[in-house]
Structure 1
Amino acid sequence: MIELDGATGEGGGQVLRTALTLSMITGQPFRIANIRANRPKPGLMRQHLVAVQAAAEISNADIGSAAVGAQSLQFIPGKIIGGAYRFAIGTAGSCTLVLQTLLPALLYADAPSVVSISGGTHNSMAPPAHFLQRAYGRVMAEMGATLEIELKRYGFYPAGGGEIEAKVSPCKRLQPLELMSRGERVSGYAESFIAGVPADVAKRELAGVKAAMGWDDAQLMIRGLPHDQGPGNALLITLENQHVTEVFCAFGEKMVTSEIVAKKAITQVRQYIASGAAVGEHLADQIMLPFALAGSGRFTTDRVSQHALTNAEVIARFLPVSIAFENQGLFSSCVIETK
């Protein structure tokens, strides 16, 4: 039984999600205390409970009496079973974080799987669905994984109501990968998604991107969505490079101007471009686990967050790997090796 302290490092839900994924794959049970101890509302929120229940269902695990608000949990996994699964968060809690808990594990299932998750697809506390499709999905494909992620319906905070479906084929072994440089830029574009929000909001956001990036109108797109999928607004900037694709986002909120939303997204993009690193802060955090499962890998990133350091610590509890970060000036490198 691996004993984990949820207050470690940044003390959020990542400790739990990473533990669930690796427990399923390695067959090692774990017990966690102080779940999300450093958050304003500690314990399992609805999306975390669904992640636990979903992991338990696909791996025939024993989870005892897990409930919303619980600050401790024991997880004893069984065999990972492929098949058709459907999970509902019931709030605007993140579909993408639940899905990312399950995807690596389903690569080790005995048969292909189709997973549908309903809830929030675009909110400020999690990667949006497009990030999974374009950035995370591309890295996983490069490593030999066959997965297809489809956004069926958008779900913004606070209403939720979105849906993501993923099709996953078993993968005997992920291939090691090195992402030390991003390569030449192939394309760059910005999209403003609006549902039940005036078109002027999108126009002003994209005008901000145009002025900052010097892009032409063909690279700026308004994505109007049905009103019943809102109200909601998300600004996404996608940079497709030779070796990696990155997605940066900012979200419209009440009392926040379109210009500020644009500035938030542009600030992230400029930091990434200036660093010269292959991957951004959030993608670095997400690919560490599959790199560790492959046994080795290297990448450069514009920033090593406390979130990433915490993630690395949990990964090393389940897998015989060492994860080392080294500052290289404007960026940092991460090297993952089998012990």
Structure 2
Amino acid sequence: MCSAQIFNRHISYRAAGHLSGCHPISSGALDLLEFCRHLLFEHLATRVRIGCWAVGTRIPGSECQVGFRGIRFSGRPRFFRIPAGPRGLDQDQVSELRGGSQCILFPALGRRLRRCGPGPRALAMAGQPVEVDGGIMEGGGQILRVSTALSCLLGLPLRVQNIRAGRSTPGLRSVCLLMQVSMPCVLFAASPSELRLKGGTNAEMAPQIDYTVMVFKPIVEKFGFKLNCDIKIRGYYPKGGGEVIVQISPVKQLNPINLTDCGSVTKIYGRAFVAGVLPFKVAKEMAAAAVRCIRKEYRDLYVNIQPVQETKDQAFGNGSGIIIIAETSTGCLLAGSSLGKRGVNADKVGIEAAEMLLANLRHGGAVDEYLQDQLIIFMALANGVSRIKTGPVTLHTQTAIHFAEQLAKAKFTVKKSENEDDASKDTYIIECQGIGMTNPNL
């Protein structure tokens, strides 16, 4: 189950369980729409708690249309229950909410709802919603994350169909994926935000929290903001159970970035970890195999991969993995990573991460294949022209560009690198003329 709360702009999101006093409501991707809308919700009285509105269903092929006008709550706690379907609430209380096969439930503080003007930051729901097909291109959570964040920031009515139609399992279980969708929103809030994110920290089909902290964080801060990420406890598939606290201060505008000079590799380092019942020797074997693989191409460079045994107070569940980072003379960070799996030899896990890193280095890009798509939304919002040099453009990146152009009207170009050194490499330049999003609160 999923819930969100705002106490004087302290924001908490939980991927499982529900807050005391809040009715448990449907989990999955659609809940994320409402979580983001709360992040920039303008009309909040002191110490207001709002449960996450769940609309529609979470299976592929489902559809939802959501939105609200500014509402102010006061008085004692009370639950409102609205039947699903087109009827919605009375217009004297709140703009129409429409759901799928489930009911919409939310707790409000007050015996009645009082209409407020929408204001410059409230989400106006006038006009027809933008139609988004969640089954096209990569067909997964990337579509939902980018379109939801931009809908929240730009005040666009949004209808998402066929959510995660290209995926076999529903939901956004990873803390790092939740961070991706929430960060752009809180950057344009009125005051500093703290997000308490719970779920998996090291999961398949998502960035590892180590990658987020060691690669994504220092690079994304080049847009002109500071991000603090405190890993309270790690959580592994399938139980999750991890917790990360993210603190971000708002900005007036995002600066454009230029990451086109990859430089030369000066350091290679990383960590190989095990948690729970897995023996420490697994971490040592992953690290040793990765070092042997890397030294075939970088013989004169010291490779420092530390094996780590995570204690019970550091991690929940059983898990293992490795991340390896290459740092260059121009400050670029590229990485390779892999997670341990049942029946897979530890040496193979280490070699897989090493070969991923080496492939990224061979392309001559300044960002690796997993960072390129995460930077697209920030490039689209920035004030000016951003340029990044990367290897082959992934389908995730193509998807993020498509929806950034469709919703934010940012202008992207992708072309083969014309640098002589890149003539024999599969290297590209992604350029974006950002929309210069301005924070009206600052």
Shorter-chain TM range is 0.7 to 0.9
Per the TM alignment, residue 220 of structure 1 is displaced from its structure 2 partner at its CA by: 2.1
Residues 1:206 and 2:294 are matched in the alignment: no
**Whole-angstrom CA distance in 2 between matches of 1:16 and 1:112:** 25
Change (3 A) 1:222 1:331: same
Q: Identify which of 330, 351, 368 aligns with 1:263.
A: 351
Residues 1:6 and 2:86 are matched in the alignment: no
**Whole-angstrom CA distance in 2 between matches of 1:26 and 1:229:** 38
After TM superposition, the score normalised by the length of structure 1 is 0.82
Per the TM alignment, residue 188 of structure 1 is displaced from its structure 2 partner at its CA by: 1.3
Alignment-derived partner of residue 331 in structure 1: 427
- Kept after mapping to 1: 8 A contact 2:325/2:357: no
Alignment-derived partner of residue 256 in structure 2: 176
Alignment-derived partner of residue 254 in structure 1: 342
- Kept after mapping to 2: 8 A contact 1:288/1:312: yes
After TM superposition, the score normalised by the length of structure 2 is 0.63
Alignment-derived partner of residue 123 in structure 1: 203
Alignment-derived partner of residue 167 in structure 1: 247
The structure 1 segments of at least 4 consecutive aligned residues displaced by more than 6 Å after TM superposition are: 215-218
**Please, which runs of 5 or more residues in structure 1 have no aligned partner?**
48-92
**Whole-angstrom CA distance in 1 between matches of 2:139 and 2:267:** 37
Residues 1:223 and 2:308 are matched in the alignment: yes
- Kept after mapping to 1: 8 A contact 2:391/2:426: yes
Q: How many residues align?
A: 291
Per the TM alignment, residue 133 of structure 1 is displaced from its structure 2 partner at its CA by: 1.5
Per the TM alignment, residue 338 of structure 1 is displaced from its structure 2 partner at its CA by: 4.8
Per the TM alignment, residue 250 of structure 1 is displaced from its structure 2 partner at its CA by: 0.1
Alignment-derived partner of residue 16 in structure 2: none
Q: Partner letter of residue 131 of structure 2?
A: E
Residues 1:190 and 2:282 are matched in the alignment: no
Per the TM alignment, residue 266 of structure 1 is displaced from its structure 2 partner at its CA by: 1.4
**Whole-angstrom CA distance in 1 between matches of 2:186 and 2:323:** 28
Per the TM alignment, residue 224 of structure 1 is displaced from its structure 2 partner at its CA by: 1.1
**Whole-angstrom CA distance in 2 between matches of 1:132 and 1:203:** 23
- Structure with bigger gyration radius: 2
Query: Per residue, is there more helix in 1 or in 2?
Result: 1
Q: Partner letter of residue 324 of structure 2?
A: I
**Whole-angstrom CA distance in 2 between matches of 1:224 and 1:230:** 13
Deviates more, 1:194-203 or 1:327-336: 327-336
Give % identity. Answer: 29
Alignment-derived partner of residue 291 in structure 1: 379
- Kept after mapping to 2: 8 A contact 1:138/1:244: no
Q: Partner letter of residue 316 of structure 2?
A: Q
**Whole-angstrom CA distance in 2 between matches of 1:335 and 1:16:** 23
Deviates more, 1:6-15 or 1:228-237: 228-237
Question: What RMSD, in angstroms, separates the aligned Cα atoms of the two structures?
Answer: 1.7
